Structure 1
């Protein structure tokens, strides 16, 4: 608790911001109600709540069994809150009889809501901030069993995962809203001035600053014949930077062609500061406005007239578009309108580029954050690699996982690929990955096939729309082992693993069942396959992005992988993983995410 003050916890800006971004408040939420319903059924309690604690109240987006008037209001003041103690301490709160505990004996939830026994588990965001609790309530004294607390904890983990996914996709929604706003502006501009249609179309496809610079140069040069077109973009720290021009090197000895402050005595900087078009029709106009050195600079560049248009985005000025002529030039109203509109299009394109960069970065950081740090398992060596797609927005749902197990199997490993290539696929991946590892932990001796079937049952029951391919395997060491390991695996439509023997022989583990899905399309039970791994053997798991190429036969691609792995036999997994990526992935050549996991004995 910061400085021992509960109010600092409850009013923490990061925590309250996460509560707001979750979109959950004193309104019924179907997903949260389902979690409350599961608590009520599985723990056989009269009341179950998904409670989020705001600075001055607690709200119940998920609720089952609460009496009126609280059921309609879906909120109480903090005077009626047990969950605030879970938020403040960050720890579960389990009470047999709240009336006999000093912390809660005077809480008004006891007489007004009938709370006697209480069990609450923290609900945290991805930063570890406690937003509220998933709680079970009984109106009579009750001793909570270890199994009941464990069940409540498991449900709280699932509930917190749902909340985290909502927070993670919030930024994506904001980006879509901004994109829609820019599209509306673009449509209005098309209607105003059909002359600029070709420029708008060209700029709309720009995905880098260099592409924007190229399209501006082509359009302006073709239509209005300036001798100079410059693009300057805003940088952190109040600086402006010129985007390099094709065929014209940046010269470090001139301020205009380098990086310069926004308060520099230049027409470009003035347009940026004042957020309006600046026009100078001849050298005299420039000399009257700026110091002599600036006038000489423009003349040295061969410019006798210039127009500088600010690139105004939805929030800030993003840069400046500069046009120059090699002789005096007076802009009429039509030319001013064209330049101003072109600057609007350029600002939209520049903002899209920045948003695209941020969106891709956020999505990929989210996906990479969901990947596992490999555990240390005596007798096994593990190496994993993840490479995001090199297509601009193809963020997908590829993942790997490795989880030590409490049963006979020492380790469970998974490599999977959720259907889709967007942020939604990435968030579904995080949910499936968490459910898969929880299922493996809860069923350590059931075997991989039973574990995947349990996962599909949960996906169906919770209506989580995830489908795709995965390979799930358990590694165990037989009691009489002399360095050998037993690999038991089930393949749900995933590319076949490669078993690389120490002597260089390779074996393709081709047995597989249908893809996994929440729809329950299976016509038969999943099957387990077993292989004995001798010392020095290596199992190589991967997703299809490693081998699939447009227009290439998949079997030939897998054969190429086997040939490469045969040459790498005997090398440690880290070296194998790096060598495979170096040989099979060409820069700019893969349009899908790539995950690989090498396990050596």
Structure 2
């Protein structure tokens, strides 16, 4: 009997061989065993790929990983799956880098044999696997995890390394058959992207550390490369990173340099230039400006590096080097800066494996030509520059994914009669752009409106998950009830404590009702900055009340409710501390500054007023949530 019909699919440099369902059904049980032998050989070759294994092992196995445990917890909370796992798969076993819900001994040992692994099939396939019931899947139905973990439904999304190789999977597991919804699959995909970004960043750091250790044999190389690594790692602004690179290499390797790179082929290049002599800073700035415009000279530099993929040394002398510069002003500045030997080092992306730019190093005529040792240093400089560019790109992507997740957890404001709502959320400028600030507004059956702003402690994905829980608890507990905000927050304290929700948060909860004189606003404040009220005549009230404990602490005395009556045309302003907090000032000063801006901008419409108020923040070291409630009726 011949081999069954197969379907070949190229994944990177490998061919994944899979059996078509038609052939499997037609050839019967004996042929099925033969087909799975083919897949088994392919599976082993993928799992044992040395390049892939190197990435897996670079991630280490030091026990529970806090960051990945948080992602696993988020899977359980948001996807409502009993088991959430971040798996790293090598050739012999799978390591549970993050997990929630796993039974012992797997929860403590953080390892499972491949015989128990569903995620190895994600690694082999190189794509997402979404299976409502693994007992019906020929690849998985004999897996011991079905019995030992009661694992029935499985959804796994690949986690990739900087080369795009699949090192593991982010997976959700249920104890009963389940049709995974598109929104759940989308959320798993976004969270897997966060895991991949974390993996790439960790591998990048490990690679940089390995390169630093390899350079210890040469003291000069060690000093230069260490300083370069530390300087580039200290910023995620790629333009600033390239300027730092220029300053470091001109201090220790060359008299002057030009750094050029482009994020994508054909994109406008980013150019910077530096000289050993600080007095030539203006000339170098002009040289960078001209080089960015003169694509001919710039392309010649990059092409020389792209063709070879390694540094190119030249010792042709000033005349020949000057002759390669077609722009007269560029040539004049270069001659004045000093033309002798030169070297071009490519900036190579470690992720996309392509030349993204180049570093042109130039020495004056009074210095010796660049040596072979300096060529090796230049190659390492180019690699580290490429790593800095990719780190910046990965950082931007991670911020984007985290911000999308954050915004998905925020409320879409309703349209209510007599009440005009405007809100803004701004992530912190530092970190993963995800945190615990939130706002909410919803109508009650009795015609009143509940509004809230809060801030869960922390600036990470766990804070965002807790924020989502807290917001839903507020909604679920308050909807349909006529209790005042103090009573509702007291009940929320009890719910957080009783359900063991790990939340420590500040919040203001307010109920807006129409009254005979206009509106009645009753509110309770749990350790949060005071609400502001803009009156129709332009005056601003700051509603300070005696401080009460944060939410999430053990319940103590019942919380109080404060009642104010306000005229139509007033605007209630709720906000988080990121808008008013400044390390150099008291909170009262920040609140007073916000009140002053509110007073001066009273005439602006809601959206414009939000924009003006956001300008108050002295720096964006914290998230900001802002909610405006205009009482128009």
**TM class, shorter-length:** 0.5 to 0.7
Match of 2:527 in 1: 493
TM-fit CA distance, 1:415: 0.4
**Alignment-derived partner of residue 248 in structure 2:** 219
- 1:403 aligns to 2:442 (yes or no): yes
Aligned to 2:197: 175
Pair 414,261 (structure 1): closer, same or farther in 2 beyond 3 Å: farther
Residue of structure 2 equivalent to 1:81: none
Change in 2 beyond 3 A, CA 1:274/1:401: farther
Q: Which runs of 5+ in 2 are unaligned?
A: 1-20, 22-70, 85-98, 104-127, 136-143, 155-174, 217-221, 274-280
C-alpha change, 1:422 and 1:25, in structure 2 (3 Å) is closer
Q: Does 1:282 align with 2:282?
A: no
Tell me which residue corresponds to 1:444.
Answer: 481
**1:354 aligned onto 2:393:** yes
CA distance in 1, matches of 2:543, 2:75: 45
Contact (CA 8 Å) 1:281, 1:329: kept in 2 or not?
no
Q: Which residue of 1 aligns with 2:223?
A: 195
Deviation at 1:556, TM superposition (A): 3.1
3-state SS of 2:262 partner:
strand
Deviations, residues 280-334 of structure 1 (Å, cap 9, x unaligned): 33269989xxxx9857569675455432222233312343222134549643222
Alignment partner, residue 17 of structure 2: none
1:376 aligns with 2:415: yes
Which residue matches 2:585?
552
Does 2:261 correspond to 1:233?
yes
Distance 2:557 2:622 in 1: 31
TM-score, scaled relative to structure 2: 0.63
* TM alignment of 1:50-199, pairs within 5 A: 57-59=132-134, 72=148, 74=150, 124=181, 128-129=182-183, 131=185, 164=187, 168-191=190-213, 192-193=215-216, 194-196=222-224, 197-199=226-228
Offset at residue 474 of structure 1 (A): 1.9
Distance 1:404 1:258, change over 3 A: farther
Distance, in Å, in 1 between the alignment partners of 2:520 and 2:292 is 68
**In the TM superposition, what whole-angstrom CA distance separates every residue of 1:182-214 from its partner, at most 9, and x where no partner exists?**
222222233224232333332332332332233
The DSSP-based 3-state class of the residue aligned with 1:477 is: strand
> 2:514 aligned with 1:477, yes or no?
yes
| Alpha carbons 2:312, 2:345 under 8 Å: kept | yes
TM-score by length of 1: 0.66
Write the deviation string for residues 372-414 of structure 1: whole angstroms up to 9, x where unpaired.
Answer: 3322211122222333334465643212111222x21432211
Note if 1:414 corresponds to 2:452: yes
Contact 1:547 1:554 in 2 (8 A): yes
The yes-or-no answer on 1:269 pairing with 2:303 is yes
Corresponding residue for 2:35? none
**8 Å Cα contact 2:427-2:623 kept in structure 1:** yes
Shift of 1:232: 1.9
User: What's the counterpart of residue 151 of structure 1?
Assistant: none
Q: Offset at 1:344?
A: 2.9
Aligned pair count reads 468
Residues 1:516 and 2:546 aligned together: no
Give the superposition deviation at 1:454: 4.4
Query: 1:561 — aligned with what?
Result: 594
Match of 2:530, SS state, is coil
SS of residue in 2 equivalent to 1:243: strand
Q: Which residue of 2 aligns with 1:154?
A: none
- Determine if contact 1:467/1:516 at 8 Å carries over to the other structure: yes
SS in 2 for 1:444: coil
- Counterpart of 1:144 in structure 2 is none
Partner of 1:530: 563
User: Is 1:366 paired with 2:405?
Assistant: yes
In the alignment, structure 1 residue 309 sits paired with structure 2 residue 345: yes
Q: Cα distance, 1:343 vs. partner? A: 2.4
Q: CA 1:179–1:600 in 2, change beyond 3 Å: closer, same or farther?
A: same
Further displaced range: 393-402 or 294-303: 294-303
Distance 1:256 1:500 in 2: 50
Residue 542 of structure 1 corresponds to which residue in structure 2? Answer: 575
Q: 2-side partners of 1:282 and 1:377: how far apart?
A: 76
Distance 2:439 2:348 in 1: 43
Q: Secondary structure at the match of 1:213?
A: helix
Partners of 1:26 and 1:597 in 2: how far apart? 33
Query: Per the alignment, do residues 570 and 530 of structure 1 end up closer, same or farther by CA in structure 2, a change over 3 Å counting?
Result: farther
Counterpart Cα distance in 1 of 2:433 and 2:81: 36
What secondary structure, in the 3-state scheme, does the structure 2 residue paired with 1:597 have?
strand
Within 1, Cα distance between the matches of 2:609 and 2:460? 29
Say whether the 8 Å CA contact 1:412–1:474 is kept in structure 2.
Answer: yes
* Cα distance in 2 for residues equivalent to 1:505 and 1:545: 20
Distance 1:385 1:529, change over 3 A: same
